[in-house]
Amino acid sequence: MIGIYNPCLTNSLRQEEEGHIYRTLRKSECCTSILNENEESALTEYGDSLDKVSGEVLLCTKCRLCKTRQHAVPGEGLGSAKVLFVGEAPGEQEDLQGRPFVGAAGKLLTELLQSVNIRREDAYITNIVKCRPPNNRPPRKDESAACRPYLDRQVALIHPAVVCPMGNSAIQTFLDSEKSVTALHGIPFEVQSMTYFPMYHPAAALYTFGLRKTMEADFRKLRALLDSMVD
């Protein structure tokens, strides 16, 4: 069984904190059992956290998108999520609400998750760039590059079993590949010991007839992949 379906992991701040301390320690090759309370809190204080990333994103002015946004959208979900979904950029609704995937594409994403019994709140959902590009144009290379460290920190902190880049922007950002989603969707592969499962962007299924069925099939494959992974 995988962690997202373990009720003990859901909404348990303490376990999330422990997970974070463990990951921080693993990097420096320590062992949690040798820590006392004070050392634990020191690590939490000086270590990185998802809240810290989100706080920095909300104040970020590292690229031009900060000038046109209403709200930055850091991402949301479970800190110990087994699966991390990464879209392209916030759209209009996301920009208004400060939350990822809350418009029409988000509604479809939530339905696709439900179709394979994954609760939205048990995943983590974010985007390549955290601020809405004007008129929903694709993010520019320099904007994606400026925003990349936030995404890398989120991946490191959540340490998911699987990262799902959705759509060409996200796929090409992660996989450094010119291949398109048409060639890559639904096939897991590994880069530097991280498993990626590329998917179509849910927005594409809103305007391409038949794509919803393909996405449903890919979500079933994702579910099987997660189930096959040992905690």
CB of 43 or CB of 147, closer to ligand URA:
147
CB of 43 or CB of 158, closer to ligand URA:
158
Strands 194-196 and 189-191: antiparallel
Per CB under 6 A, contacts with ligand SF4 among 136-155 are 143, 146-147
Candidates 43, 105, 118, 131: give the one binding ligand SF4 (CB under 6 A): 131
Cα distances (Å, whole numbers) of residue 173 to 25, 64, 105, 210 = 28, 19, 20, 26
Nearest to 106 by CA among 125, 129, 131, 122: 125
CA distance 140 to 172: 13
Binding site for ligand URA (CB under 6 A): 87-91, 94, 100-101, 103, 105-106, 127, 203
| Closest approach of ligand SF4 to the CB of residue 31, in Å | 35
CB of 4 or CB of 57, closer to ligand SF4:
57
Q: Is 128 in the site for ligand SF4 (CB under 6 A)?
A: no
Candidates 20, 120, 130, 185: give the one binding ligand SF4 (CB under 6 A): 130
| Closest approach of ligand URA to the CB of residue 170, in Å | 8
What is the 8-class DSSP label of residue 52?
Answer: H
Strand partners, 194: 191
Q: Where are the beta strands (DSSP E) in the chain?
A: 76-77, 83-87, 124-127, 162-165, 189-191, 194-196
| Closest approach of ligand SF4 to the CB of residue 29, in Å | 32
CB of 83 or CB of 129, closer to ligand SF4:
129
Question: Are the beta carbons of 147 and 63 closer than 8 angstroms?
Answer: yes
Q: Is 66 in the site for ligand SF4 (CB under 6 A)?
A: yes
CA distance 166 to 198: 6
Q: Is 206 in the site for ligand SF4 (CB under 6 A)?
A: no
CA distance 30 to 36: 13
Stretch that binds ligand SF4, among 10-18, 26-34, 55-63, 161-169 (CB under 6 A): 55-63
List of residues contacting ligand SF4 (CB under 6 A):
57, 60-63, 65-66, 72, 129-131, 143, 146-147
